[in-house]
Amino acid sequence: AKRSSFYGSAIAGMVDVAEENGYEVFAGCDIGANSGGAVEQNVVDWFVEDTLARLRQILPVKAVLLCLHGATQSTASNDVCGDILTAVRELVGEDVVIAASCDLHANVTERMMRAADCICGYQTYPHLDFYNTGARAARLAMRKLQGKPTVTAWTALPQIAPAHGYTTTQGGFKQLMEKGFAMVKAGEIIDFSLFQMQPWLDVDVAGSAVLVTAETEEKAVAVAADFAKEEFALREELQGPKLWTMAETVQAAIDNPEDKPVVLVDSADSPGAGSNGDSAEVLRYLL
pLDDT digits (tens, 9 = 90+) for 237-247: 999 988 888 89
* CA gap 129, 9 in Å, rounded: 8
* CA gap 191, 211 in Å, rounded: 8
At residue 135 the predicted structure's pLDDT band, cuts being 50, 70 and 90, is very high
For residue 274, is pLDDT > 80?
no
CA dist list (Å): 214 to 153, 179, 202, 256: 8, 15, 33, 54
For residue 181, is pLDDT > 90?
yes
Quote the percentage of the chain above a pLDDT of 70.
Answer: 97
Average pLDDT over residues 100-113: 96
pLDDT score, position 244: 87
Around Cβ 267, how many Cβ atoms within 10 Å?
12
Most confident of the following: 133-137, 257-261, 273-277: 133-137
Q: Is 207 exposed, middle or buried (0-12, 13-18, 19+ CB in 10 A)?
A: middle
Dihedral, 77, 83, 87, 92 alpha carbons, nearest 10:
180
Which among 122, 121, 111, 209 is positioned nearest to 159, based on CA atoms?
Answer: 209
* CA gap 160, 158 in Å, rounded: 7
Amino acid letter for position 235: R
* CA gap 105, 145 in Å, rounded: 28
At residue 6 the predicted structure's pLDDT band, cuts being 50, 70 and 90, is low
pLDDT score, position 1: 39
List strands edge to edge, sheet with 208-214.
151-157, 208-214, 191-195
